[in-house]
Amino acid sequence: MFALVALARQNDAMQLFKPSVLPASTDIARHHHREPYATLVLAGAYEETGDSGRLSARAGEILMHGPFSAHRDRISAARTVVIDLPLPFDAREWPARAYVADPDRIVRLAERDPMGAVTEMIAGFTPACAAEEEELPDQLSVALRRSAAPRIGEWAAAHGRSREHVSRSFERLYGVSPAAYRADCQAKRAWRMIVAGDDSLAGIAVEAGYADQAHMTRAVTKLTGVSPRRWRRGAAC
């Protein structure tokens, strides 16, 4: 689904198609967006910690977010200007970070042809390096996003740390506990499998790591507000 009527579904508190100045030196608590969108940085910089780990974005770079994304933002002291553009509401996995050769052209195009700006950005972006994984919480983020995510206590022990230390460090940086982060990533992975293919829901539940289909149904419904069966029927699109 990719039409103006779909773009009108944007219900997040963000200003689409127009540049906006982010509050300098601000830490924005972890929050959720139902709709997929891309943030193109026009000036300054900020750091985002979320579904794709920890990402730093500077002028000319794009941070891309799929449906139901969640993240925390730290805005730099420099004047930071961004423009948010909607993405198609589907199950594709966008690169977490990308860049465009001429950000100003996207801005000018958005003023007179919003759909054209989105189309040109998608056609012209180049994927960039993803997350920075030097610190222990970022390494744990990578592990928790995998289909076979580890037990947090076992992962901590394997890295010579206590579960409590690892959990505190992770929550301090990501704004959410490791267990909740893992569950969030698991539900999003299951949702993508549900809407992108035609495998049975029971089979998807097993592949996504749930104990049973009922467990997956509760998780996906909590994340999206819509049951897996309704997503399959297309009632949510």
Overall average pLDDT of the 159-172 stretch: 97
Domain ranges of the chain: 4-127, 136-233
- Nearest Cα to Cα of residue 84 among 105, 112, 65: 65
Give the angle 144-204-145 at the CA atoms, nearest 5°. 10
- Nearest Cα to Cα of residue 131 among 207, 47, 215: 47
Q: Tell me which architecture the domain covering 4-127 has in CATH.
A: Sandwich (2.60)
CA distance 78 to 90: 34
pLDDT band at residue 9 under the 50/70/90 scheme: very low
Residue 234 pLDDT: 80
Flag whether the pTM goes above 0.85.
yes
State in words which class domain 136-233 has: mainly alpha
Overall average pLDDT of the 159-171 stretch: 97
Q: pLDDT tens digits, residue range 179-197?
A: 999 999 999 999 999 999 8
Give the angle 232-85-38 at the CA atoms, nearest 5°. 75
Helix ranges restricted to H, 21-135: 103-112, 114-124
Residue 6 has pLDDT above 90, yes or no: no
**Residue 7 identity:** L
Q: pLDDT tens digits, residue range 39-74?
A: 999 999 999 999 999 999 999 999 999 999 999 999
Residue 7 has pLDDT above 70, yes or no: no
Based on the number of CB atoms within 10 Å of its own CB, is 131 exposed (0-12), middle (13-18) or buried (19 or more)? buried
CA distance 217 to 202: 10
Overall average pLDDT of the 92-121 stretch: 95
Residue 134 pLDDT: 77
